[in-house]
Structure 1
Amino acid sequence: MRNKKCTRLHVAFVTAFLFAALGAEAQLGGAGPRVNYTAKLETGTVRPGEVFRAAVTFTLSRGWHVNSRKPLEDYLIPTELTLEPGGPFTLRRVAYPEHQLLTFSFSPDPMALYEETFSIGVEAVVDESAAPGDYVWKGALRYQACNDKVCSPPAERPFELAVTVSPPDAPAAAAVSGFPAIKWDTAESVGDSPTPDGTVSATQPEDSAPSPTQDWRALAEQFTMTGQLAGFADKKGFLDFVDAAERGETTKNTLAGRSLLVLVLLVLGGGLLLNLTPCVLPLIPINVAIIGAGARAGSRTRGFLLGGAYGAGIALVYGVLGLVVVLGLSTAFGAINSTVWFNAAITALFVVLGLAMFDLIQIDFSRFQAKVGIRKNEHGSFAVALFMGAVSALLAGACVAPVVIYTILHAQDLYSQGNGAAILLPFLLGAGMALPWPFLGAGLSFLPKPGKWMVRVKQAFGVFILGFALYYGSIAWSLMGMGGGAVEDSGGWVHSLEEGLEQAQRENKPVVIDFWATWCKNCSIMDKTVLKDPEVLERLAGYVRIKYQAEELTQSPAREVTEYFQVLGLPTFVILEPDK
């Protein structure tokens, strides 16, 4: 009886730890995407006095996009390519690509964007006096990048265009292969306005934020940060953030500031604990026999290696599955995973898997393993063990599927924010599941034996899975309600950090700081919807509300302020409580 109770407590702890680990949010840093480029001429060489064309192709990190040359909103920063004047070349026209109209969760209106890979054409003329030789023409791409959650500051990507000038009497050069398709008929002459209506306009910030003096830091040290919300949030998410901060629950990302080792250990540990789920544990002896390990291996060393091959199959399948989704589908996921229908589909899937834990729906793929396996494998084959490990990963059952799906979706979300290491999360989950298999193959048994207690554990898993369904269902419901209920702002925002902190200290009130910029479309959308909602305004009535305009996060004074408050991107909201 004592062993039975201990086993139940052990497995209850296992399931709770597993889902708690998977629920942790990981912010590995990184503001803005990587931007690579290739530049080439339309012909191999050019001659003095000749008009020539070139193309520069830019590639962004997966899940990121940049505004088009002519954004649909005047507060957005247009993409612009420039080349340094002087030298033997004169720029005549620039041909920007055709934009794509996409809709995201933070904006009910379509946006004009360039996604992931795009090419910009350049038409120039060589001076007649240009001497033959190799030249490097330097330029830069001015852009502002965003993903579905956060915008990075406007940035420049320098590039170089190699141009070879041939003698005037040289024959015309042939066209090079692989030159990208450029819409030259829509090219604009140098100096043309980038605005949609063809007029020249300079957008000024709606609010001019006075620069804080040197006293802002001394004032900030009289407060304690109780919450931070990074990226776009709907009304419900924002109110939950405020409520959690008031309850004293730290609302900063759980793994912010921690080492990558912590994240690796959590995912590996979660994968290891999946072996104790009711869909995996009862099948372990059967799978050990199928691969010819254990007593059939002939020696513990051979059994250890056979078990290792089986575990490698599990890790490889989850790793490849993660690569396919994160790399192969990440471009589409930037818009898909924040749509109502996607979250509704995930909700329905988790409801089905949850009901299967209560045996209301029968989902059992494990019975196919015997049909897939190779029957005559008495002494074990490493290839068979690797293959069967891969099969078992795919047919693990309803217990493992929600964890794998959540890990892959979370990895894609982190990767789209520029966190390249997140691509390894699905593989690490599989590696965690593989950890005990070399020892199991060697005949060392240290896992609890299946019994009637597994029924209760299975039902507990059903509750956890239905909890996941409720989570994704709430996201879908929130997305359905986006964009409604906004009213005119009643004011009350302070545009000086120092002035706002002084007021809060004098009146002994909490502070909410909105870090924003004119180039941040997520900031603008939240300002027009969430921050103008009557319920949100009422909820913030007891706060001193500060808007801090951080146009250039890398320049003073914004750099020092954002570093102090640990702001990685915009929008970011920070809640402070005055020290007693």
Structure 2
Amino acid sequence: MRGKKMMMRMGMASVALLVYVMLVGSVDAQLTAGKDLVKTRAVLSVDNVHPGSAFQVAVIAELKEGWHINAHRPTLEYLIPTRLTLEPVEGLTFGEIQYPKPVRLRFAFADQELDVYQGRIIMRFPVTVSRDLPPGERVIKGTLQYQACNDQMCLAPVRLPVTIPIRIVGLDHPSRPIHTDIFGAGGLMVPPSGASARESESGQSRIARLMEEQGLVLTLLSIFVLGLGLNLTPCVYPMIPITLGYFSHQSEGRTSRIFILALMYLLGIAITYSTLGVVAALTGQMFGAFLQNPWVLIGIAGVMVLLALSLFGIYQIRPPRFIMEKVSGQSGGGLLGALSMGLVVGIVAAPCVGPITIGLLTYVGATGNPWLGFWMFFFLSLGLGAPYVLLGTFSGGLKKLPKSGVWMIWVERLFGFLLIGLALYFVAPLLPDALVPWAVFILAVVAGIYLGWVEKSSTGGRVFYWLKKTVGVMCLLVGAFAIVPRTPAAAITWQHYDPTVLAQAKQEGKPVILDFYADWCIPCRELDRFTFSDERVIEATEPFVMVKVDMTQYESPEAERLRRQFNVSGVPTIIFLDARGREVEEARVVGYVKADEFLRRIQRARAAR
């Protein structure tokens, strides 16, 4: 009897051991099978990496047909997310990893559709290289976590090692874009569908998308058109009287000679802005952020005032004497004189170009490619200067206009007031809200009285006389309108940022809109004035908890922590959180957008709930 019990115990132990071995073998087989289903490789956006530059990395995972892995943010909380993690490397700073937009499918084992990845999966992230990092080989190591499933079963989760070798070289070695099918022709990452929407409306992303879809040639032509558009900005206007004044002394020669001088004049402008592009590429994205500094706004406004005082005749901005000798053409250096004048004129208009082309500056800075920066800003300057080539070439027609003393003095005064108004525009975000309307009122009234009645230039006829009166009256009307009390309209109820506000919204299942702003941010003011005051926007945002995040002290530790937490690279940035507190990436707004576009972002946020 005792022997039988012993035999039964041994038999049960054998069965248990066999079951254990089978289970262990099954798990091991699943782990092996899960690893075999995914093949990974890593590619870079450039062949060589310079110290102080930025580049992009893409980790590509090829998944066997018939299988899928869960999205980075799975539909159900208990599902294993696909996640790429990176180990720190001295001298390298990694940006946020961007995952592709998942597909939504229904499976037999689930009651609802699930967000998954299939086929080819590309995960991307930017890398910034320290300026002090010496040349040599470096390796970025990471781990890809995923769980492979098909329609019938799920294998055990897998952690797959990823190795990314990079080569740091000196500036004497070239750095060329590669894998343009993934990163675009300029070496900047082409945003994946959906995942990149956080930058989708920023200038940088639009340029990257244009590079990817149209190629370098059409992108440069588009930048040329942008340069033409810069001529509509008020602070470019001083280039007009300078150009007229210079070419009016050259109009006695043949048209072909004047055309060549005008081309040299354009080349001088191009050199100024091409240099700006090279500087942006060599300094990285920090150059674009530099233009958001309040002291930079004050500096730009100061330049505008100095130019305005020159147009009022208080002093004259003159090139150096050796340049003026060339300008006169008496020493046979007319070509050099035209080139030098173009350089001077380019500097005059430079304060306009930085703020308006912030997206282009950021894009060029992210590529770290000086040649790309040179050509992009070269074509920008060609567009900016093209009208002045025509103006200079046909300067002989100026003789048919009234003499300079009749109209040019009054026009210069008009441009002077426009420049002061532009200076006020730049510093308005730094002034108290109650002070700005009165500043506009004083400027408009002074400009109206002076331009309409005080300025005593010869009229040149009744048309010019009534033009002066009309401009004067319009200025007075603008001043009066600026201080007219306005009936307070319906407004969005904002809360100041506090982590408890977000926690409460998540607990109550409410979506959130975070508006990252700064008091000195001009686009932020425009959002408040035009977009957030729109009745349709006010109504559409009622279901959301509206939170303002103050980034006025942009370099403070608190602001830096929030920038890192929410991946904010500048203001304004608007982030949409769903009812579970997760960002709706395809709805993110960077920069100023009009009410219609903001309403579309709200619809995207609602669709993701």
Provide TM-score, normalisation by structure 2.
0.40
If each structure's strand is expressed as a fraction of its own residues, which one has the higher value? 1
Bigger Rg, structure 1 or 2: 2
Flag the structure with more relative contact order, 1 or 2, with Cα contacts below 8 A and sequence separation at least 6. 1
More helix by percentage:
2
